[in-house]
């Protein structure tokens, strides 16, 4: 049955107090650690999740399990990185910022093997992006700071040192990590996905695990490794069906941090634009570029045919190259993380949606996006409901706008296809759905079926 969504927020805030900048001793009290936290604190978010237990209680209901984690703001438009295990299998995500404002979040993409995920909120203002450092020059004994949602105490700050580098850690038979940073800065449940900072207030790692039964043994993914994964998770080819065709490498060694062109795909926009091996990309779409993650996010929200000005350093001279984005052709799936499906799969996806859920849908045109703004990026309008189907039984009507399945948004057919083809689809059964009807967001659960009966 369809139910109304009610938004309620319970905040448990531990305030990071700023030392007074006036009075005797203020210069002494405002240590490098305090200054680092001041620089980074606005870019740390607290994540609260909700999912239903697979086990029923004494009344036959699936009890709700509340989870918590932390995230790092990657882009002023609301893109946030966290650990995959923070968002895995959740029914709802809520993000709170340092100022106490709270938003509903959606999972955009993830890499389960690397335990990283991108979520997004539709904030009412431009967000403060976390200063990105490098893990290439971390030193044993260097002071580091962890900030996170420890046991639900939001924005908890702890400090310690780098205890070891290049640790390989096996959490269980399904999850292991390599080359982690070990720290004795206290990391607790809820810190997952939060930043490990240096004294410059730059993120040098993403907190990911603790040693059970030990004291002050925590681990973080080196930020240089994480940023390479983030670049793939933000790739415009997989998120927006636009293509640039540039192949480039992150080069990071201490203060040397740059994105260097390796090659271009044959016939791609980057090839036509004239990028050359060895070009150092300095700026794209008026955004400073340090690595591949910066480059991908600079191209987000641009359309096919848009001409992007890219500044490169070539033979020690700055030059401007014009990159005209193209539509994706013959897209193939990368390993380990979800993407949008290729256009030639859409007919098959339509039939699967009809067979399994009993729905026909059309993508909401751009001139009707105001019907879902500002909370959603788009949706699929229901054009037909099969009599006797699970969708009809759960009250979905023609004209409703489908905006989400499980933890993913449904902006186009490809998003729906991804959910229905997910290898863990049986674990999602019954499948949670979200629709807009007028000004109300409604939700319910659909029993999956593979037949027309």
- Cα(327)–Cα(346) distance, rounded to whole angstroms? 16
Beta bridge partners of 218: 183, 210
- Residue pair 131/40 in contact (Cβ under 8 Å)? The answer is yes
The Cβ of residue 235 has, within 10 Å, a number of other Cβ atoms equal to 23
* Nearest residue to 299 via CA among 263, 324, 265: 324
Catalytically active residues are: 85, 115, 192
Is-contact 61 223, C-beta < 8 A?
no
Cβ within 8 Å of residue 223, ≥6 positions away: 132, 133, 134, 135, 203, 204, 205, 206
Residue 403 to residues 92, 182, 265, 355, 446: CA-CA distances in angstroms?
A: 13, 41, 34, 20, 14
DSSP string, 424-453: TGGGGPSEEEEEEETTEEEEEEE---SS--
Q: Are 23 and 190 in contact (CB under 8 A)?
A: no
**Quick check: 411 and 340 in contact, CB under 8 A?**
no
Q: Report cis status (omega within 30 of 0) of the bond before 95.
A: no
Which residue(s) pair with 451 in the sheet? none
C-alpha to C-alpha distance for 192 and 173, rounded to whole angstroms: 19
36 membership: H or E segment, kind and range: helix 32-40
Q: What are phi and psi of 97, to 5 degrees?
A: -90, 175
Task: Write down the residue that tokens 């026909």 correspond to.
Answer: 360
Helix locations, 88-235, DSSP H: 223-233
């Amino acid at each position: 049955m369809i139910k109304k969504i009610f938004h309620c927020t319970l905040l448990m805030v531990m305030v990071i107090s700023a030392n007074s900048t006036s009075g005797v001793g203020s210069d002494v009290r405002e240590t490098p650690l305090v200054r680092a936290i001041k620089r980074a604190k606005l870019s740390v978010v607290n994540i609260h999740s909700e999912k239903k237990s697979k086990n029923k209680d004494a009344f036959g209901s699936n009890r709700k399990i509340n989870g918590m984690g932390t995230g790092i703001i990657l882009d002023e438009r609301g893109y946030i990185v966290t650990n995959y295990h923070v968002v895995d299998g959740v029914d709802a995500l809520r993000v709170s910022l340092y100022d106490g404002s709270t938003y509903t979040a959606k999972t955009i993409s993830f890499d389960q093997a690397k335990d990283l995920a991108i979520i997004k909120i539709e904030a009412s203002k431009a967000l403060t992006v976390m200063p990105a450092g490098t893990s290439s020059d971390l030193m044993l004994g260097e002071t580091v700071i962890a900030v996170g949602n420890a046991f639900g105490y939001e924005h908890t700050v702890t400090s310690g040192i780098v205890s070891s580098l290049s640790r390989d850690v096996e959490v269980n038979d399904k999850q292991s990590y390599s080359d982690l940073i070990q720290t004795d800065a206290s990391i607790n449940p809820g810190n997952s996905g939060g930043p490990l900072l240096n004294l410059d207030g730059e993120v040098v790692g993403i907190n990911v695990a603790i040693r059970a039964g030990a004291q002050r043994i925590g681990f973080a993914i080196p930020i240089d490794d994480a940023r390479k994964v983030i670049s793939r998770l933000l790739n415009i080819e997989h998120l927006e069906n636009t293509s640039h065709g540039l192949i480039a490498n992150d080069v990071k060694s201490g203060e040397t941090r740059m994105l260097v062109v390796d090659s271009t795909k044959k016939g791609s926009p980057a090839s036509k634009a004239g990028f050359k091996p060895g070009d150092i990309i300095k700026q794209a779409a008026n955004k400073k570029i340090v690595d591949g993650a910066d480059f991908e996010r600079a191209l987000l929200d641009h359309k096919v045919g848009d001409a992007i000005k890219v500044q490169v350093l070539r033979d020690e001279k700055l030059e401007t190259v014009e990159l005209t984005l193209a539509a994706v052709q013959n897209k193939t799936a990368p390993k380990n993380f979800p993407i949008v499906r290729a256009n030639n799969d859409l007919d098959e996806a339509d039939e699967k949606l009809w067979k399994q859920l009993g729905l026909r849908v059309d993508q909401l045109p751009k001139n009707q996006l105001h019907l879902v703004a500002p909370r959603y990026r788009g949706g699929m309008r229901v054009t037909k409901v099969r009599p006797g189907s699970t969708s009809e039984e759960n009250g979905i009507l023609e004209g409703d706008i489908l905006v989400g399945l499980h933890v993913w948004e449904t902006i186009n057919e490809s998003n729906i296809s991804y959910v229905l083809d997910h290898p863990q689809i049986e674990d999602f059964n019954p499948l949670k759905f979200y629709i807009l009807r007028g000004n109300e967001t409604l939700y319910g659960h659909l029993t999956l079926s593979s037949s027309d009966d």
